[in-house]
């Protein structure tokens, strides 16, 4: 199943819709998952329900992890990274977050991305953007009618990005290297557009992104 990286030891910070959905697909692919949450009991409950490990703090979750996925609300990012301090220096950290404002989308679309903000504040972290453009249902099952959705990955560190591309592929997306971290702005726009479509058309929160045309694999 795996090529270069094999089974990954992954910490997921956030045990809500996204944390649980990603934990499920990563576990199915054979990775080792440790979940943390703001309240340790939430991480424990979520982990028990899906067969993952739980940590009593974010610090404990990332200690032995080779890859960290951040799946918390935008407003919690400051707290999370302050708490982690230098524990994530040199590690690959995947930012799966969005800053959503459906009433005033321009507020989100005009600024830098969450991922760039994290990278600017924590230059020693290898920040990679992925997963944020996918609804939770599609993170748990990244295909529709057997067709793999596109798993876009952006980042400035090629080795870190390659590792995340391998992860994205292992859970069932078609992996696509989308370029530098600044492209995270586009991913956050894609997420906002998908959310606004679900709301305005009363769609069932199941759609995912797929570019059609060659190459097909």
Ligand X SMILES: NC(=O)c1ccc[n+]([C@@H]2O[C@H](COP(=O)([O-])OP(=O)(O)OC[C@H]3O[C@@H](n4cnc5c(N)ncnc54)[C@H](OP(=O)(O)O)[C@@H]3O)[C@@H](O)[C@H]2O)c1
Q: What residues make contact with ligand X under the rule CB under 6 A?
A: 13-19, 36-39, 42, 58, 71-74, 76, 79-80, 96-98, 100, 132, 134-136, 191
Cβ nearer to ligand X, comparing 76 with 143? 76
Q: How far is the CB of 132 from ligand X (least distance, A)?
A: 5
Q: What is the spatial distance between Cα 1 and Cα 7, in angstroms, rounded to a whole number?
A: 9
DSSP state of 131: S
Least distance from ligand X to the Cβ atom of residue 87, Å: 13
- Shortest gap between Cβ of 135 and ligand X (angstroms)? 4
Of the pair 76, 207, the CB lying nearest ligand X is at 76
Rounded (10°) CA dihedral 72, 75, 78, 81: 0
Instruction: State the residue number with the nearest CB to ligand X.
Output: 16
Secondary-structure breakdown of the chain: helix, strand, coil percentages, each rounded to the nearest 5: 45, 20, 40
CA pair distance 206, 137, nearest whole angstrom: 6
Residue (57 or 66) nearer to ligand X, CB:
57
Shortest approach of ligand X to residue 207 CB, angstroms?
11
The answer to whether the Cα torsion of 45, 168, 128, 6 is positive or negative is positive
């Amino acid at each position: 199943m795996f090529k270069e990286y094999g089974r990954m030891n992954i910490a997921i910070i956030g045990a809500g819709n996204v944390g649980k959905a990603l934990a499920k697909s990563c576990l199915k692919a054979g990775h080792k998952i440790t979940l943390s949450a703001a309240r340790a009991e939430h991480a424990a409950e979520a982990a028990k329900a899906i067969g993952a490990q739980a940590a009593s703090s974010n610090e404990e979750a990332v200690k032995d992890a080779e890859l960290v996925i951040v799946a918390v609300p935008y407003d919690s990012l400051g707290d999370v990274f302050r708490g982690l301090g230098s524990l994530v220096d040199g590690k690959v950290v995947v930012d799966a977050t969005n800053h959503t404002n459906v009433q005033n989308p321009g507020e989100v679309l005009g600024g830098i991305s969450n991922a760039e903000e994290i990278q600017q504040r924590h230059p020693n972290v290898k920040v990679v953007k992925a997963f944020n453009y996918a609804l939770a249902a599609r993170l748990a099952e990244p295909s529709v009618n057997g067709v793999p959705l596109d798993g876009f990955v952006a980042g400035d560190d090629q080795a870190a990005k390659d590792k995340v591309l391998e992860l994205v592929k292992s859970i069932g997306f078609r992996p696509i290297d989308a370029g530098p971290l600044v492209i995270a702005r586009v991913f956050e726009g894609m997420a906002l557009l998908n959310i606004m479509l679900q709301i305005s058309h009363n769609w069932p929160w199941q759609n995912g992104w797929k570019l059609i045309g060659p190459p097909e694999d």
